[in-house]
Structure 1
Amino acid sequence: MMKERLQLTQIPREKTISKADFIKKYVQPQKPVVIEHLIEDWPAYNKWSLDYIKEVAGEKTVPLYDDRPITSEFKFNEPHLKMKMSEYIDLLKSKPTNYRIFLYHLLKEVPKLQEDFKFPDMGLRFLKQLPMLFFGGANSKVFMHYDIDYANILHFHFHGKKQCILYPPSESKFLYKVPHALISREDIDFTNPDFEKFPALKMAQGYITELNHGETLYMPEGYWHQMTYLTAGFSMSLRATSRNLTNLSKAVYNLGFMRYFDNTMRKWKGQGWIDHKNEQAIYRTHKKNNIKL
């Protein structure tokens, strides 16, 4: 008997694309795309590797996160471990590890890296703050989530391969979204989902791709994304403001109210609040989709 799988289609690919075609074919209809040769004129395309990052940033102490679920003990943005970048890269190169870097401004800490990229002229209103770099070891995963600001994102990958699973906002009703949060249930393995426990996932229609060194993934506003590092590597995202007024209002709500409300409830009720939200994710998803277990 064939094992059931998620409904995922390959993200379309373009070798190169003009600004006008990019806007017309992907930004306006809010469809993802991989652009294979967008950044070959960046110094980063030839320079950026794990060895290069070790050379220029090896002495920096970096925050590391693994795949343990959010609890009242470890908050979403609280690191689980810290080490020198040189030690971390040695770890990445030696064996698979769940430890990842995110929410760390390496380009601010190492200004030399700022010379290696530029904002592409693709018709997007980029936020001109310094982008963050994201690092992961082989087989490490980033849980399914969408971004708080509903940005249009250009996501550039370096060194190795990375699998990306995306879902448009229209599929949220199938993804076991946790209330008052930007994530789906963290115990869902989107590379091998448990359809008995999470049957609504079978109805969700999404996209999948593998990013190689130097390739660019465009993720439209509010798209869910789950990343798996197939090999050790790192990525960078440039963010552009939402073009949709409804999404802008959602971003304002998320930034101005939702995250503060959730933090307040977590401080008040502790782990009980987190457990309640996870239970509600299943209850609400099954109720919306008339699923009875």
Structure 2
Amino acid sequence: MRIYKNFGILSKSSIVIIGGTGKIGRMLVKLLQDSGGKIFICSRNLRKAEKIAKTLGVKAGDLNLIKTANIVIISVPIENTIEVAVQAAEKMEEGLLIDVSSVKIGVADKILAAIPSKIEYLSLHPLFGSGIRNFKGKNMVFIKLREGKLTNAMIEYLKWKKLNLIEASLEDHDKKMAAIQVMHHYAYICLAVGLEEFASINELINFSTTSFKTTLRQLKKISKNINVVLDIQKRNIYAFKARKKFLNIANSLQNMDSEEIKKVTEHLLKFSKLDLK
């Protein structure tokens, strides 16, 4: 049996995770297991949900669980988040609705406008992968869209889990993600397409440096998550601007003359001073 701190209202809550059989859903189960709340996972495939729930030490059920839930977390693909969230909120008597979408504008604002005013609404974005074992020091963005007792209890719990919580607005989140996700991933996408202009991937592997192998591992990781990566490229409203800026910078550095080298050196030196943990 887990030993947990008493988080009052959260410890007495029924927590339903829709999409709980996915990688992020399973990570959320692990994150919330010390809260004392009763956790349930819902999926279109009840048999699969029951099997995974058993391995995680929680319960599974169908969407009727929402009617008695205090907290409902939406962990589905971005394209389905609005529909699933609104349908869930309509079934809730009261309580807290949470989304974990990687894109906020065009998703969270639409959900907020559509759900009943009696429902609290918190938008989260875990800035880490599903395979982590320790949440201490990991970054998570939170946006309080309709605050209440459950919202504040959840935030206090996440602080207790030693997450590095970053409060943001919808706009600020998506602007930052335009650099961190859109531009970052776009650079890898361009590299993936461009590499085969020189030789096949198998041929390039034979000439790999240690650094290049690290890059190939990152490309492999992105390829396994390509639908999410491309969805963010399409849905973040600042994505086109980020890609355009990236291409303009790349074009401005084509010649690598003395002025361009000076510019590159100045920028790279800033990264040499970073304290990355």
TM-score by length of 2: 0.29
> Highest relative contact order (Cα 8 Å, sep 6+), 1 or 2?
1
Structure (1 or 2) with the larger CA radius of gyration: 2
Structure 1-normalised TM-score? 0.28
